[in-house]
């Protein structure tokens, strides 16, 4: 080959810190040289390739992670992603540790403990294996929409300093049904080749298709392919599946996940914490935050985040508005899907009824001073209203502040 000395020098420079793409091109060159009968030149480039592999093996990160399940090549930003053969649409999205969320979603006590246990297990994978304990490699996160499932999985990967290969199964499936199994195959072989966490988001997409009578044969094949790949991957790397339609998942799929984490809509206390988190740097009196949390019963974390964004915008655009109840009404109108009819009726109805509702809910534990602050009335007016309602027998217990 002409100018081989220069090409060899180029390869040496490139292989000193090779990306996967560079390595692949050098491999191609070796094959091409062999094909032309240039055995000697091919061999000198092969030597460069194997020397680089040895160097990689000695690199600290490799040693640190080679013990556990994290064997495999390093995934870089230059790695070519698998694509759907017909449409060339990538089958996965890759996030690197620097791009992953630094804060976990807020969860109440027992969920937080469960998440911490999973993280401990995964972070001390080597120690468990040394003690001949087989750590779990698969985790299913399920719960209603917007409860922070995807965020949680991405955060977990960040804590493990692993890139995440995210497969939106709905994307894989909705391309061409005939090629779904092949796509799933490409996805798993990609995830198996690299050191990563495989995230199967919207996992129910496959199960949902089973309801389509026209697709029964195909879906059986797809589910079987998926099960086979999940089985073989369970010896390779971490996998997280996510669904918000757990009822639709095939029982055989459920069984494949050793850890099963349910993430429900946040409780009252959790809503208070989530609201506080998103309010920052704006701060509201505790009574206002509690009131918001109360009005948003049944909302997800994602809905609370949107609602707080509205509050903050409102605060910037209407700084003069001191009446929180009026602010809340405006927000309820602009965010009608996030506040129940019942609560909206209370908000826009007679003030006495709202007062009764607030005072009789023990979880709120409002003092009269706080109620006065919320209703934008003075404390004596609130006391009078409460007294008249007590006489009517509407409120039996009243807290004092």
Ligand X SMILES: Nc1ncnc2c1ncn2[C@@H]1O[C@H](COP(=O)(O)OP(=O)(O)OP(=O)(O)O)[C@@H](O)[C@H]1O
Size of the site for ligand X (CB under 6 A): 16
By beta-carbon proximity to ligand X, the closer residue of 82 and 148 is 148
Partner whose footprint covers residue 253, from Mg ion, ligand X, none (CB < 5 to 8 Å by kind): none
Contact yes or no for 146/305 (Cβ under 8 A): no
Two tokens at 143? 């719960």
By beta-carbon proximity to Mg ion, the closer residue of 150 and 343 is 150
- Residues numbered 317 to 356 that lie near ligand X (CB under 6 A) are none
Partner whose footprint covers residue 105, from ligand X, Mg ion, none (CB < 5 to 8 Å by kind): ligand X
Q: What is the smallest separation between the CB atom of 266 and Mg ion, expressed in angstroms?
A: 16
By beta-carbon proximity to ligand X, the closer residue of 142 and 366 is 142
Partner whose footprint covers residue 238, from Mg ion, ligand X, none (CB < 5 to 8 Å by kind): none
Which one among 138, 150, 239, 299 touches ligand X, defined by CB under 6 A?
150
Partner whose footprint covers residue 274, from Mg ion, ligand X, none (CB < 5 to 8 Å by kind): ligand X
Partner whose footprint covers residue 233, from ligand X, Mg ion, none (CB < 5 to 8 Å by kind): none
By beta-carbon proximity to ligand X, the closer residue of 75 and 307 is 307
Two tokens at 379? 């404390």
Q: What is the smallest separation between the CB atom of 290 and ligand X, expressed in angstroms?
A: 17
Size of the site for Mg ion (CB under 5 A): 1
Contact yes or no for 109/267 (Cβ under 8 A): no
First-to-last CA distance in the chain? Answer: 91
- Residues numbered 121 to 180 that lie near Mg ion (CB under 5 A) are 150
Q: What is the smallest separation between the CB atom of 273 and Mg ion, expressed in angstroms?
A: 20
Kindly compute the dihedral angle of the four CA atoms of residues 300, 302, 307, 312, in this order, to the nearest 10 degrees: 140
Stretch that binds ligand X, among 3-11, 99-107, 166-174, 338-346 (CB under 6 A): 99-107
Q: What is the smallest separation between the CB atom of 129 and ligand X, expressed in angstroms?
A: 30
Two tokens at 34? 């062999």
By beta-carbon proximity to Mg ion, the closer residue of 150 and 373 is 150
By beta-carbon proximity to Mg ion, the closer residue of 150 and 287 is 150
By beta-carbon proximity to Mg ion, the closer residue of 154 and 354 is 154
User: What is the CA 313 to chain-centroid distance, rounded?
Assistant: 26
Verify binding: residue 95, ligand X, rule CB under 6 A: no
Binding mask 290-319 for ligand X (x = CB under 6 A): -----------xx--x--------------
Which residues contribute to the site for Mg ion (CB under 5 A)?
150
Which residues contribute to the site for ligand X (CB under 6 A)?
105-107, 145-151, 244, 266, 274, 301-302, 305
């Amino acid at each position: 080959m002409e100018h081989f000395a220069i090409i060899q020098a180029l390869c040496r420079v490139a292989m000193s810190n090779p990306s996967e793409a560079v390595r692949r091109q050098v491999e191609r060159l070796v094959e091409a040289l062999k094909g032309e009968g240039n055995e000697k030149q091919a061999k000198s480039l092969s030597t460069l390739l194997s020397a680089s592999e040895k160097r990689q093996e000695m690199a600290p990160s490799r040693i640190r992670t080679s013990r556990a399940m994290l064997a495999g090549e390093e995934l870089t930003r230059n790695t070519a992603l698998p694509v759907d053969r017909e449409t060339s649409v990538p089958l996965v999205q890759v996030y690197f540790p620097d791009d992953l969320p630094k804060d976990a979603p807020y969860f109440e006590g027992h969920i937080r403990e469960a998440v911490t246990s999973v993280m401990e297990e995964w972070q001390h994978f080597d120690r468990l294996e040394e003690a001949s304990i087989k750590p779990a490699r698969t985790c299913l996160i399920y719960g209603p929409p917007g409860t922070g499932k995807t965020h949680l999985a991405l955060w977990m990967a960040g804590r493990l300093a692993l890139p995440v290969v995210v497969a939106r199964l709905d994307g894989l499936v909705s391309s061409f049904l005939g090629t779904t199994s092949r796509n799933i195959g490409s996805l798993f072989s990609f995830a198996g080749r690299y050191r990563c966490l495989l995230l199967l988001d919207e996992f129910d997409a496959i199960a949902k298709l089973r309801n389509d009578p026209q697709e029964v044969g195909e879906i059986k094949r797809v589910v079987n392919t998926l099960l086979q790949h999940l089985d073989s991957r369970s010896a390779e790397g971490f996998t997280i599946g996510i669904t918000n339609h757990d009822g639709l998942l095939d029982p055989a799929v459920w069984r494949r996940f050793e850890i099963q984490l349910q993430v429900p809509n946040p409780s009252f206390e959790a809503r208070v914490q989530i609201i506080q988190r998103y309010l920052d740097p704006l701060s509201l009196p505790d009574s206002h935050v509690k009131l918001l949390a109360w009005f948003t019963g049944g909302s997800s974390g994602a809905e609370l985040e949107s609602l707080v964004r509205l509050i903050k915008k409102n605060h910037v655009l209407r700084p003069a508005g001191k009446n929180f109840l009026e602010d809340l009404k405006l927000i309820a109108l602009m965010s009608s899907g996030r506040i129940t009819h019942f609560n909206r009726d209370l908000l826009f109805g007679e003030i006495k009824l709202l007062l009764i509702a607030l005072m009789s809910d023990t979880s709120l534990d409002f003092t009269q001073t706080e109620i006065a602050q919320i209703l934008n009335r003075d404390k004596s007016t609130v006391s009078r209203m409460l007294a008249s309602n007590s006489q009517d027998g509407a409120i039996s217990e009243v807290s004092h502040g």
